[in-house]
Chains A and B, each alone.
Chain A
Amino acid sequence: DAGITQSPRYKITETGRQVTLMCHQTWSHSYMFWYRQDLGHGLRLIYYSAAADITDKGEVPDGYVVSRSKTENFPLTLESATRSQTSVYFCASRRQGEAFFGQGTRLTVV
């Protein structure tokens, strides 16, 4: 199916564990983004990528790592999960104009 796919949809992990959230797009859009959504904060940009092998920090990058070896994939890794990283994570892609969002990953850190 064409579009942007996130996996897993739900994840529970323990404090201190490493966890990777996956994002895959089928359009070959240049730009990809990771946002987190928390009550009272709206969507905040974590990292973004302008093309393969080009990434940059967003508003709240601490504790996260990204990579983009292929245009279609943009995984987000929490190196050592903390409870403050409990959130809903959205991946998005964009060529120009509008952005297309995945369905989100609900991550709970216990």
Chain B
Amino acid sequence: SQQGEEDPQALSIQEGENATMNCSYKTSINNLQWYRQNSGRGLVHLILIRSNEREKHSGRLRVTLDTSKKSSSLLITASRAADTASYFCATDATRTSGSRLTFGEGTQLTVNP
């Protein structure tokens, strides 16, 4: 079964609005990562947050991690039409899974111009 589960499955917003996506997972992790996938393309790494970190920023991205609730959120501020893509969280539980990344099913974000 999938380690990570994203919520919502689909999100549609207007340009300029903020987009928040959530990820829940089941086991202890070393780090959690977020990836983006444009239609018909491979996944691209966005940001990594370690298990001892609570928040991390990168440009318009803000990621939080709550290990007590086994959840993470990705916030994209001031969204643009070019942010339209699928977003996946991936968990790294190296101690138990040998450097594998386990992905959720993703959130499809649509940013309307």
Residues of A within 8 A of B (CB): 31, 33, 35, 40-45, 48, 50, 56, 58, 90, 92, 94, 96-104
Contact = CB atoms under 8 A, between A and B. Distances in A.
Contacts of A50: 98-99
B45 A90 contact: no
B48 to A, nearest CB: 6
Counting contact residues on chain B (CB < 8 A from A), the size range is 20 to 34
B107 to A, nearest CB: 11
A42 B48 contact: no
By secondary structure, the A interface counts as: strand
A90 B42 contact: yes
Contact of A56 (B43, B44, B98, B104): B98
Contacts of B31: 97
B60 interface: no
A42 B104 contact: yes
Contact of A101 (B2, B40, B44): B44
B69 interface: no
Residue among A42, A94, A97 with the most chain B CB within 10 A? A42
Nearest to A100: B45
